[in-house]
Structure 1
């Protein structure tokens, strides 16, 4: 999942800033037996879930995120 999310963030940044290096950050936090993983880019826009086809190599990051159970 991390690889998919970081790849999507790098690609989004590269498209937005063709001449600048992508700014992507990853943060991990472990608390109360739970791992929190955050991936961020410099965009102010919210990510959009794509309808990736079977043969596409990317575009499933948010689909993966929605499949992960969250802590209450």
Structure 2
């Protein structure tokens, strides 16, 4: 599976702080429960990467006349 390949797999994503001061991304899909813990600095880096990717995706979809979906 690559980043640019579509998939029919549905998953739930939860994001929040833990009692230990970490930021947890929790991915739940059929047969998968995956908690991913990051320190706050790492979480901020991930957030910036998400913002950058979102901006790039907007530019790509704008060139095709499509609007992204959530």
TM-score after normalising by structure 1? 0.27
TM-score after normalising by structure 2? 0.27
Greater Rg, structure 1 or structure 2? 2
Please state which structure has a larger fraction of its residues in helix. 2
Query: Which one has more relative contact order, counting CA pairs under 8 Å at least 6 apart?
Result: 1
